[in-house]
């Protein structure tokens, strides 16, 4: 099997992922049982109001199809009006008396009718009972960066002591290098997908989760997938000509990726000539470090415009570094 070595590397990385996922699930179980069994009547803020032992609860259907729940709890001095559309809370008002609650609701309705672009929610407390899947998937980024580091520099690993053997395989150097990197990239995707699935399983320990999508869900998910790929390409491109293995490049790469964007950011408002010069140099270097687009130059939690810019930059750098790695490896001599 021509690509057996790449297969072994991928399987070793996935075994590490499986161990870490197992630890995540065990930790979730420990936390779950430490907190005790969930109480269905108090699983969210609104249910706790509705299921108070001293509360009087009435429900009615509104003309637009929403369900209005009125919670009157004189002992706790709580009068709440909760409007739901399906499983989502679309309006919530909380006051000490009925008159105050109805007044707040009327004022909120007046604001809504006056400005159609205004928020449709008057919320004090958690507004939704659903979780955003893109936010959950974003939590797989650390796992992706870890696997990218484990797999980074595959060509340098081949250079270390058995380059002559590699080049005797019945495939071209370009095809061999491209396929090796493709196996690693597929492994990255599998690792992040498995981590996302594990997080969903962990959430089910507290009940069946409901998921929605945030306003920039596509950009968040794409950025979460592309960031480790860009980091992998960066490490591979810098180490393709190294014949002693990529260890030193992997170690220095993390140091550079953290320090350079930090210095560029911290000197952005410098007034002294030296400070401005330092910022100019490190700012340019930051442009070619994919990791700086994850947490430095473009905040992936920012607007869609900046997220798109960061995603585009990382995709471009990925192509450049992978191509650079192949060019170096084609010209390498044993």
pLDDT, residue 298, reads 42
pLDDT, residue 295, reads 59
Cα distances from 98 to residues 70, 102, 111, 213, in angstroms, run 10, 6, 20, 35
Cβ atoms of 88 and 129 closer than 8 Å: yes
pLDDT, residue 125, reads 40
Domains of the chain, residue spans? 4-31+130-331, 45-114
In order along its 334 residues, the chain shows pLDDT tens digits of 566 777 888 999 999 999 999 999 999 999 888 865 554 443 467 777 888 888 888 888 888 888 888 998 888 788 888 888 777 777 788 888 888 878 777 777 766 655 444 343 444 443 334 567 888 888 899 999 999 999 988 877 776 666 655 656 666 777 878 888 999 999 999 999 999 999 999 988 877 777 777 667 788 888 899 999 999 999 988 887 777 767 788 888 888 888 888 888 788 777 788 888 888 888 888 888 887 777 544 444 456 677 788 888 899 999 999 999 888 877 765 5
Tokens for 104?
């707040």
pLDDT, residue 14, reads 94
Q: Is the pTM of this model over 0.95?
A: no
Cβ atoms of 22 and 190 closer than 8 Å: no
Tokens for 247?
């260890």
Of 251, 274, 225, nearest in space to 149 by CA: 251
């Amino acid at each position: 099997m021509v690509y057996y070595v790449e297969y072994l590397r991928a399987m070793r990385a996935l075994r590490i992922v499986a161990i870490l996922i197992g630890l995540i699930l065990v930790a979730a179980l420990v936390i779950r049982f430490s907190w005790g069994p969930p109480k269905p009547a108090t699983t969210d803020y609104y249910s706790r109001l509705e299921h108070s032992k001293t509360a009087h609860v009435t429900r009615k259907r509104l003309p637009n199809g929403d369900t209005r729940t009125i919670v009157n709890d004189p002992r706790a001095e709580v009068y709440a009006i909760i409007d739901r559309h399906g499983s989502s809370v679309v309006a919530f008002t909380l006051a000490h008396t009925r008159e105050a609650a109805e007044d707040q609701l009327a004022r909120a309705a007046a604001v809504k009718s006056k400005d159609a672009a205004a928020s449709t929610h008057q919320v004090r407390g958690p507004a939704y009972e659903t979780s955003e899947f893109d936010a959950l998937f974003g939590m797989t980024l650390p796992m992706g960066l870890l696997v990218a580091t484990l797999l980074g520099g595959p060509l340098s690993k081949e250079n270390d002591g058995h380059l002559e053997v590699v080049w005797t395989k019945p495939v071209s150097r370009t095809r061999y290098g491209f396929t090796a990197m493709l196996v690693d990239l597929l492994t990255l995707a599998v690792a992040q997908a498995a981590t996302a699935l594990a997080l969903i399983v962990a959430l089910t320990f507290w009940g069946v989760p409901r998921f929605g999508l945030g306003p920039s869900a596509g950009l968040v998910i794409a950025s979460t997938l592309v960031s480790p790929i860009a980091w992998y390409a960066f490490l591979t491109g810098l180490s393709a000509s190294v014949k002693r293995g990529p260890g030193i490049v992997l170690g220095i790469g993390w140091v550079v990726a953290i320090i350079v964007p930090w210095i560029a950011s911290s000197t952005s408002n410098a007034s002294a000539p030296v400070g401005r010069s330092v910022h100019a140099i490190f700012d340019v270097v930051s442009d070619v470090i994919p990791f700086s687009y994850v947490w430095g130059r473009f905040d992936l939690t920012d607007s869609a415009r900046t997220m798109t810019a960061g995603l585009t930059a990382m995709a471009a750098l990925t192509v450049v570094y992978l191509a650079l790695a192949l060019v170096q490896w084609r010209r390498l001599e044993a």
